[in-house]
A and B are shown apart, each in its own frame.
Chain A
């Protein structure tokens, strides 16, 4: 079956603009994670959705970042008033139930803020 998909694959934007990044998890996976990977850095946790529970937003770096998950499936990560330091690869992962199961990662969205 299809894996985790993300769109767009690349996004170039100007400082101060808003961007939306999309994640389509594997069908049936109830848990969804967003991470950020800066050049040469490991993955930085951003936000975690599990079923209908309130999301764990503890990793969001500022109030310019928000995410939602509609219908327990597709998720959108929104960055408002983008800054140059937001340039990174944004990765989405999903698992069956949010336990120790394998997190399946999408290919990521490469965001460049000029």
Chain B
């Protein structure tokens, strides 16, 4: 079993929909949680990061961490075709360690 599990999709939604992306993990030592967005043939770029449990909002994006359930989510409101990409969750136990990534979920937002 992988340390971080993520549904590969693809997830296809109409423009304007609310998107929910999720990851589960097994290592209870993880404290730092990130979401990366990766466009085709590009490197990942950091979207959001959170420490420990709780919510964090940035524009149309909300990251949610539930450490008790070992479950993290990324919500995208008013989704746009430009949001079409692969979304990777990543996490680490201590700042400065290497990141452990999920396999990524491919999202397609159709106009």
Which of A4, A43, A100, A107 has a CB less than 8 Å from the CB of B32?
A100
> Which residues of B are found within 8 Å of A4, using beta-carbon distances?
43
A-B contact count (CB 8 A): 51
Partner-contacting stretch, out of B13-21, B54-62, B68-76, B97-105: B97-105
CB proximity of B66 to chain A, nearest CB, Å: 20
> Chain B nearest CB: distance from A60 CB in Å?
12
Of the candidates A44, A45, A93, A100, the one whose C-beta lies within 8 Å of that of B49 is A100
Q: Is the interface of A mostly helix, strand, loop or mixed?
A: loop
Closest CB in chain B relative to A103 CB, distance in Å: 7
Enumerate chain A residues within 8 angstroms of B44, measured Cβ to Cβ: 43, 91, 105
- Give the shortest distance, in Å, between B3 (CB) and chain A (any CB): 10
The CA-CA distance from A108 to B38 in the complex, in Å, is 12
In chain A, positions 9-42 with a C-beta closer than 8 Å to chain B are 33, 35, 40-42
Q: How far, in whole Å, are A17 and B109 apart by their CA atoms in the complex?
A: 41
Q: 1/0 contact trace for A93-114 toward B, CB 8 Å?
A: 1000011101101111000000
Q: Binary interface profile of B, 80-111, with partner A (CB < 8 Å = 1, else 0)?
A: 00000000101000011011111110000000
A59 within 8 A of B: yes
Q: A84: shortest Cβ distance to chain B, in Å? A: 21
Interface residues of B, Cβ cutoff 8 Å to A: 4, 6, 8, 32, 41-46, 49, 88, 90, 95-96, 98-104
